[in-house]
Amino acid sequence: MFRTISYAAILLGGSLAALPAFAQEAGRSEVSVQALGSFVKSTTDNGVQQGASNSGGVLANYRYFFTNDNGVEANYGYSLNTQTYGLPAGPLGVKSHQDEVSAAYVYRHPLRRFTPFAEAGIGALIFDPKDTPDASTQTRAALVYGAGADFSLAKRVFLRAEYRGLVYDSPTFDLSDTLGTDRVTHRAEPSIGFGYRF
């Protein structure tokens, strides 16, 4: 749990430290907060089916654009769900806090009332089990991709609708003898929220 908090603190601290330098040119920076849905694809390895309960969470985002179209972003997301394992002895569920940190390249195409964009990058998912003895916190590297659009509501305020996908190895919480080996899975994260340009 403390490791998870420290990762989030480092990302947030780094982003905040960089704000004064980036904010010197108005309109190149954006921040947003979005509500997200988390939908994980079920996979099977050695007869053990693994999936996760559908859940919701929150996603915070900071973007900086070097040109009108090209920029970078940093994200922090949080959700809580149950990782499920279909074992021969019966199903097992591991409730876990999930922190997501990621960075990506962003391409956008500003139009008059809305701005479509696409993104691709890398990140990490931190799975912190809750109420499961002997389960360990695990960090998984992830490939991140997505697309969406920002809809202008006022001069600096916008509504963001976005889809993000994450490809990563599913967690085993260091219980691989019981839960089987790692397997590649996919998380779909549609989200919607509000943002501010400065």
In this model, does residue 194 exceed pLDDT 80? yes
In this model, does residue 154 exceed pLDDT 80? yes
Kindly state the average pLDDT of the residues 162-184.
84
Q: Considering the entire predicted model, what is its pTM? A: 0.82
In this model, does residue 185 exceed pLDDT 90? yes
6-59 confidence digits (pLDDT tens): 554 454 455 545 544 444 454 699 999 999 999 999 887 777 788 899 999 999
Number of Cβ atoms within 10 Å of the Cβ of 180: 21
Number of Cβ atoms within 10 Å of the Cβ of 129: 21
Every domain of the chain and the residues it spans: 2-197
Number of Cβ atoms within 10 Å of the Cβ of 163: 13
Number of Cβ atoms within 10 Å of the Cβ of 123: 21
pLDDT confidence of 96, banded at 50, 70, 90? Answer: very high
Note the pLDDT of residue 92. Answer: 81
Kindly state the average pLDDT of the residues 149-157.
96
104-152 confidence digits (pLDDT tens): 999 999 998 999 999 999 999 999 998 888 889 999 999 999 999 999 9
Which residue bears the tokens 């998912």? 125
65-86 confidence digits (pLDDT tens): 999 999 999 999 999 999 888 8
| Both tokens assigned to 66 | 């070097």
Kindly state the average pLDDT of the residues 150-174.
95
CATH 2.102.10.10 fits 2-197, yes or no: no
